[in-house]
Amino acid sequence: MDTKIIRMEEQHKDGALIREAGEIIRAGGLVAFPTETVYGLGGDALNPASSRKIYEAKGRPSDNPLIVHIADMESLAAIVKSVPETAKKLAEAFWPGPLTMILEKSDRVPRETTGGLDTVAVRMPSDAVALSFIRAAGGYVAAPSANRSGRPSPTCASYVVQDLDGRIEMILDGGDATLGLESTIVDLTVEPPVILRPGFITGEMLRCTLGQVDEDETLFSSGSGQAPKAPGMKYRHYAPKGELVIVRGAAEAVTAYIGGRLAEGRRNRKKTGVIATDETVDKYKADVPRSVGKRTDAAAAAKGLYRILREFDDEGVELIYSESFDGEGVSQAVMNRLLKAAGHKVINV
Ligand code: AMP
Ligand code: MG
């Protein structure tokens, strides 16, 4: 299939091209579209055949459920059994925005969309192109991230092209995703609510609105012995092709340790990479040294991480060492993705 790639200029946002993209979804086809978090691979959430196509295009196991994207609060009531008070409060505070809520699904949502579950993940994105596209598509767009399964989520349209060209009908190019990391997922079907995936809407922000909110135990551990509650968490994610190891400890000890391992890598003729910060990146003799930005700027790290992981693949890097990003708030989201990318390989120095 020929994938039509469309650059979204300001004047096109509500125009004919968005209508065309919407028609593709209504006819059961697939369109990748920008959101403020990462690019999504969209299909009609209420059409089981569309959801099956999403799994196929992504190469994703079909028990890993999709997020249903909506453009207004009225749409929520149709796809869930009931809208609990907690969901109303969170929507008021954080929608449109990078927050996904898990709720009991209504009969209108096919199990193909929810990976066989009785619950549905719902999000209202804030990106202007995303919102007009969802409306044009009929109001309910199921979308996981628009990468091939196992690859880092795409933060710009050219990464979607790399992964999905020829496999879907259209790609809407809205430029770089402003945040660069997937939405926070909070499960509202349990009391107290539980964070299943950390993101820009932090635990502290959720607690300000709801009171007690717990964190799933598998967010920062490999979770052996625990059944993951977001089915997606059991799969290896975001993995670069090279081996990635995170090094944790006092700043100087980390720099010294990584320096030693890089030297060893060179002796073994391995192509090496480093994930560091502006403060430290020049200290490393790696083939592909990369900084995520200033150590205190977690938002910059969130925005740059997936691009860096893809660059290592493009450069054929075989061995990657990363500094650790321990802290509160958005740092936790960065560390959660980094741990997944590393398959939880962490060395404490
Ligand atoms: P992605 O958009 O690629 O990040 O994938 C969507 C994520 O949402 C996956 O990690 C899913 O496991 C998670 N998810 C979607 N629906 C549910 C649900 N009903 N319950 C728990 N997690 C869900
Ligand atoms: Mg994904």
Contact 344/244 with Cβ under 8 angstroms?
no
What pLDDT sits at residue 15?
A: 86
Instruction: Report the mean per-residue pLDDT for the chain.
Output: 93
pLDDT band at 184 (very low <50, low <70, confident <90, very high): very high
| Residues 6+ positions from 223 with CB-CB distance below 8 Å | 217, 233
pLDDT category at 219 given cuts 50, 70, 90 is confident
Q: Which residues line ligand 1 (CB under 6 A)?
A: 64-65, 67, 102, 114, 117, 119-121, 144-145, 182, 185, 196, 230-232
Ligand 1 centroid to residue 257 C-alpha, Å: 36
On the 0-12 / 13-18 / 19+ scale of CB atoms within 10 A, 240 is: buried
Tell the residue nearest (CA) to atom 23 of ligand 1: 230
| Mean pLDDT to the nearest integer, 210-226 | 79
Range 268-279 average pLDDT: 97
Ligand index nearest the alpha carbon of residue 41: 1
Q: pLDDT of 165-181, one tens digit each?
A: 999 999 999 999 999 99
C-alpha of residue 144 to centroid of ligand 2, in Å: 6
Strand partners, 104: 119
Q: Which atom of ligand 1 lies at the shortest distance from residue 40's CA? A: 2
3-state secondary structure of 195: strand
pLDDT higher than 70, residue 226: no
Give the predicted TM-score (pTM) of the model: 0.94
d(CA 170, CA 249): 45
CB atoms closer than 10 angstroms to residue 96: 20
Distance 260 CA to ligand 2 centre (A): 34
Q: How far is the CA of 272 from the centre of ligand 1 (A)?
A: 33
**Confidence band for 149, pLDDT divided at 50, 70 and 90:** confident
The closest residue, in CA terms, to atom 21 on ligand 1 is 230
Residue 231: phi, psi to the nearest 5? -50, -30
| Residue whose token pair is 């091939």 | 148
Contact 208, 194 (CB under 8 A): no
Give the pLDDT band (50/70/90) at residue 9.
confident
C-alpha of residue 283 to centroid of ligand 2, in Å: 33
Nearest atom, ligand 1, residue 233 CA: 10
Q: Which domains are seen in the chain, by residue range?
A: 4-215 (3.90.870.10), 243-348 (3.40.50.11030)
At 4, which amino acid appears? K
DSSP tag of 14: T
Residue 122 confidence (pLDDT) above 80: yes
CA of 309 to the centre of ligand 2 (A): 14
Instruction: Write the DSSP symbol of residue 147.
Output: S
- Residue bearing the bigger pLDDT, 213 or 61: 213
Q: Which two tokens stand for residue 220?
A: 């920062």
Instruction: Give 74's pLDDT tier (boundaries 50, 70, 90).
Output: very high
What value does the mean pLDDT take over residues 297-320?
96
Put residue 293 in one of left, alpha, beta given phi > 0 → left and psi -120 to 50 → alpha: left
* pLDDT confidence of residue 209: 98
Residue range 317-346: average pLDDT? 95
Asked if residue 10 has pLDDT above 80, the reply is no
Measured distance CA(182)–CA(233) in Å, rounded: 13
CB 49 within 8 A of CB 30: no
Q: Are 248 and 349 in contact (CB under 8 A)?
A: yes
pLDDT digit string (tens) for 198-215?
Answer: 999 999 999 999 999 999
Q: Ligand 1, atom 13: nearest CA belongs to which residue?
A: 230
8: pLDDT strictly greater than 60: yes
Nearest CA to ligand 1 atom 22: 230
What's the confidence (pLDDT) of residue 179?
98
Sorted by sequence, the CB contacts under 8 Å of residue 314 that are 6+ apart come out as: none
Which pLDDT value is given to residue 229?
63
> What tokens does 273 get?
């990479």
pLDDT score for 14: 56
Q: What is the pLDDT of residues 251-270, one digit of tens each?
A: 999 999 999 999 999 999 99
The minimum-distance atom of ligand 1 relative to the CA of 229 is 21
Counting ligands in written order, which one lies closest to the CA of residue 105?
1
Cα dist. 267→32, 259, 316 in Å?
43, 13, 17
Distance of CA 147 from the midpoint of ligand 2 (Å) = 7
Over range 18-29, report the average pLDDT. 97
